[in-house]
Every structure is written in structure tokens, then in C-alpha cells.
Amino acid sequence: MQVNNHQLSDITFVPSPNFDSRPSDEISLVVIHAISLPLGNYDTSLIRDLFTNNLKIDLHPSFQDLKDLRVSSHLLITRIGEIIQFVPFNLRAWHAGISSYEGRENCNDFSIGIELEGCDHEIFTAEQYHALNQILRTLADEYAITRENIVGHSDIAPGRKTDPGPFFMWNKIKL
């Protein structure tokens, strides 16, 4: 796996309109998230639709809360370990929201967001950990990301976010 022009090579790229420029070239943090739409349902196309502003909110009652929401992540890892990129790494994806890391606000400014298809109530798959570790090694080489700077969404938005949740096995991160 390689990074070419701030995109992973040999994976699916689905451009999201939900990004903007970073305030600087700094990329020093990776934020791990979990997402399923609706909660506990693993239909990758719905996540893709959310990140590309194409989600039909009448498909499920819980989607009403997502009306007019504009979010994205740099990467999504599906349950089978497929990797989809939505935003090049040099651009600011809108994944962290109100956040803080080591006293610095607005983590989107200096982080890469990785969504795992999953939720707080179920284990993640071996294929997801394998893909995540490949990605993390690649990002460490390309952007000098260290193990200490790989965190969960709950770490940068405590009280507001709980993902990747209690079933995420941090000991499976091999950097």
C-alpha cells in the first residue's frame, strides 16, 4: 500500500464534497471512528451516500437527524476489509466535529479520520484490523504518525462521542 498524491493506491476513491483546505500542512493525528446506518446495520452504500450528501432521509426514522448534515471521513473500512477513500489526506475532512487533543482544538485541522463500519455494541472483524494496520503503517511512513497519536473519536470528544467503543481492541493495533 502506498500514498500517491495524498491518496492510497489501489483502493476505491469516492469523492466527497464535504471537505476544505487545512490551515497548515500538518498531519499528526489519526482518529478512529465507528459508523453504521442505521445503528447496527451494515449497508456500506448508506455510509457512502451520507459522505456524498446523497442519503435519502426517508429510508429510516433515525435518518431524520442527519438531514442537512455535511460530514465525511478520509477513509472507510468495511466489514470485509474493503477500503474506500473519500477525501485526500492533504485536505480537511469533516469527521471530528467539536474536538480537542492535548489542548489543541479543532482536530479536523491536523488529523486523518478513519471510519470502521461498526458500532459500540459489536466486535470489529479481523479483516478490518488487517486493513487498518496496513493503513496505519502506510500513514506512519508517509506522515510520521506515531502510535501515541492514534486515538478514538471518544478520546477527542469525550462526553459527546463514544466510538469506536468498548469492543474496539486497541491491542490489535500494530504500528
Q: What is the pLDDT of residues 38-95, one digit of tens each?
A: 999 999 999 999 999 999 999 999 999 999 999 999 999 999 999 999 999 999 999 9
* Given 26, 115, 117, 122, the catalytic residue: 115
Domain 3-172 has CATH 3.40.80.10: yes
147: alpha, beta or left? (left if phi > 0; alpha if psi -120 to 50): alpha
For the chain, the structural domain boundaries read 3-172
pLDDT tens-digit series, residues 90-134: 999 999 999 999 999 999 999 999 999 999 999 999 999 999 999
Q: Is 115 labeled as catalytic in the residue annotation?
A: yes
Cα–Cα dist 54/112, whole Å? 23
Phi and psi (nearest 5°) for 41? -105, 130
Local structure of 134: helix, strand or coil: helix
